[in-house]
Amino acid sequence: MRRWLAAVSITMVSVLGLAACGGGGGSTTPAGQSPAASGGKQQVEVFSWWTGPGEADGLQAMRKIFEEKNPNYTFFDAAVAGGSGDKAKALLQSKLQASTPPDTFQGHAGAELQGYIKAGNLEDLTSLYDELKLKDAFPAQLVEQISVEGKIYSVPVNIHRSNVLWFNPAVLKDAGVAAAPKTIEEFIAALEKVKAKGKVPLSIGSEWTVTHLMESVLLGSLGTDAYNALFKPGADWNSPEVTKALENFAKILSYAGDPQDDWQPAAKQVADGDAAFNIMGDWAYGYFHNPPEGGLGKTSKTDFDWAPAPGTEGTYLWLSDSFTLPKGAKNREGALAWLKVAASKEGQDAFNPKKGSIPARKDADQSLYTDYLGDALKDWSSNKLAGSIQHGVAVNQPWLAAINEAVGLFIASKDAKALQQGLADAATANAQ
C-alpha cells in the first residue's frame, strides 16, 4: 500500500504587498530589497516564517552551525512573521514573480513544493544529493514528495506532526476529566465538563489554526483511509460521512475561546492553565519546553501534556519543512552551503530538538529526542500516515486558499452545510 499521499501541482497564490519583518535575532530589510554584502562577507538570505517564540530557536541553532562552518558568509534572516507562513508565502510569491528570490526558502514537502517545482521556480538538487549521498539519508517516500520526474528539488529538515492534542492536566482534573479523550465523542463530553467549570475548553489562534483544527477533526471522524481518499481526483466531499465530520467540527469549535493572535498565545493559554485543550502541531512542544527567551520553560506532564488528537491514534498527520535553491538566487554558492548544513546530521540534530520536530534523516542521534519527541519518533516509525492540509502536503496552494476561505466564512456563519459545499467546490476546482 502506498503510505504517502500523491502530491499534486499548483498554480499560484495571490500576491500581496507585505513587508519582511525579520526576527529571531536576524537583521531585517524592507521587502523587495536584497541584503547587501556586509564587511566583505557575502550574505545568504534565508527565508522562512520562524520568527516567533519557539519557532526561531531551531533556526538559530542551525544558523550557529552554518556560521561556524562558513566564516566567509553571513546569515541573513529574512523570516516573515506569522504562523504557518500565510504572510511569508504571499510575499515569497511576489519575490519569485519579480525574479528577486531569496537565496533559499522554506517550503513544505508534498503538494506545496510540487507547485514551486512545476512553476519552474527551483533548481534541481540531484547533484547535491549524489555528492552528499542524501538519497540514502531520507525515507524514500519523503524524497518522492520533493521530486518530479526523478529530479529532487529540496532538502527536508524535519518531520512535524499536526494531530496533537495538547492539554493542561490540572485543568482536566479539576473538571473531572480522567484522561485525554480518545474519541470525538469523549472530546465533546470533556469540552462540556471544562465549560461547566468556567475555563476556556479549547483555545484557538488566527484563522489558519481553525483549518489546522479541522484537519484533525476530519481525520478523527473519517478514519485514515477515508481522509486520504479526499485528496484523490473525483473524491466525494459531499458524502454523509463528511457531513457528520463537519458537524463534529462545528460542535467542537463551539467550545473555542476568543481567537488569539497566532498559535503561540493560544498554546500559552493551555500552559498557563487558562484553557484545557489546544490542537496544534508539535512546534508547540518546542515553545512549551524550550527555556525562557525562546520558549516558556514549562514542565512536561505537569504544565502541559499531549495525546493524539481524538480519534486519530495510530496515524501520523505529517508535514515536513524543506529548504530550496530558487533559480536566480543571488548567492547560489552560499545557498548551497546552507543546504549542506540543513541536510547534515549535525544540522538536523541541532535544529529539531529545539524546533519540536523529529529529523528527516534516518541516522539522527536518537538519544537527543526525549520526552514528547521520543513518543514522536516511536509513532513515526509505526503509525499510518496522512498528509496535512494546512501545511502543504495534501493540497496545493490555490486549493488551500479556497479551503481557508470556506473556513473563514464558516467561522462567521457557523453554517456547516455551506462549509461542506465550499470544501466540495474547492476540491472540484483544484484536485488534479
Question: What is the residue whose three cell numbers read 510575499?
Answer: 91
Tell the smallest beta-carbon distance from residue 420 to ligand GAL (Å): 25
Helix (DSSP H) and strand (DSSP E) numbers for the chain = 18, 15
Q: What is the H or E stretch that residue 343 is in?
A: helix 332-343
Tell the smallest beta-carbon distance from residue 189 to ligand GAL (Å): 29
Per-residue CA distances from 212 to 1, 20, 63, 121, 305 (Å): 26, 24, 28, 27, 19
Tell the smallest beta-carbon distance from residue 356 to ligand GAL (Å): 9
Q: Which is nearer to ligand GAL, 103 or 321 (CB)?
A: 321
Query: Are 329 and 345 spatial neighbours (Cβ–Cβ below 8 Å)?
Result: no
Query: Are 431 and 399 spatial neighbours (Cβ–Cβ below 8 Å)?
Result: yes
Tell the smallest beta-carbon distance from residue 263 to ligand GAL (Å): 6
Q: Which is nearer to ligand GAL, 231 or 283 (CB)?
A: 283
Q: Which is nearer to ligand GAL, 112 or 123 (CB)?
A: 112
Strand partners of residue 155? 323
Q: Which is nearer to ligand GAL, 321 or 375 (CB)?
A: 321
Tell the smallest beta-carbon distance from residue 266 to ligand GAL (Å): 11
Q: Say how far apart CA 63 and CA 425 lie, in whole Å.
A: 42
Query: Are 114 and 8 spatial neighbours (Cβ–Cβ below 8 Å)?
Result: yes
Q: Say how far apart CA 343 and CA 122 lie, in whole Å.
A: 17
Q: Which is nearer to ligand GAL, 49 or 75 (CB)?
A: 49
Q: Say how far apart CA 251 and CA 228 lie, in whole Å.
A: 23
Tell the smallest beta-carbon distance from residue 44 to ligand GAL (Å): 20
Per-residue CA distances from 160 to 124, 163, 191, 429 (Å): 24, 9, 26, 28
Tell the smallest beta-carbon distance from residue 281 to ligand GAL (Å): 6
Query: Are 50 and 59 spatial neighbours (Cβ–Cβ below 8 Å)?
Result: yes
Q: Which is nearer to ligand GAL, 48 or 74 (CB)?
A: 48
Per-residue CA distances from 91 to 87, 102, 313, 357 (Å): 6, 11, 36, 25
CA-only gyration radius of the chain, Å:
21
Q: Which is nearer to ligand GAL, 110 or 181 (CB)?
A: 110
Residue 32 carries which side chain, given as an amino acid letter? G
Binding stretches for ligand GAL (CB under 6 A): 49-50, 55, 83-85, 108, 160, 263, 281, 283, 319, 321, 391
For the chain, the residue count is: 432
Tell the smallest beta-carbon distance from residue 161 to ligand GAL (Å): 11
Query: Are 400 and 389 spatial neighbours (Cβ–Cβ below 8 Å)?
Result: yes
Chain residue whose CB lies nearest ligand GAL: 83
Calculate ∠ Cα 301-307-310, nearest 5°: 145
Tell the smallest beta-carbon distance from residue 146 to ligand GAL (Å): 14
Tell the smallest beta-carbon distance from residue 336 to ligand GAL (Å): 22
Q: Which is nearer to ligand GAL, 335 or 389 (CB)?
A: 389
Q: Which is nearer to ligand GAL, 66 or 73 (CB)?
A: 66
Q: Which is nearer to ligand GAL, 88 or 177 (CB)?
A: 88
Calculate ∠ Cα 52-372-404, nearest 5°: 50
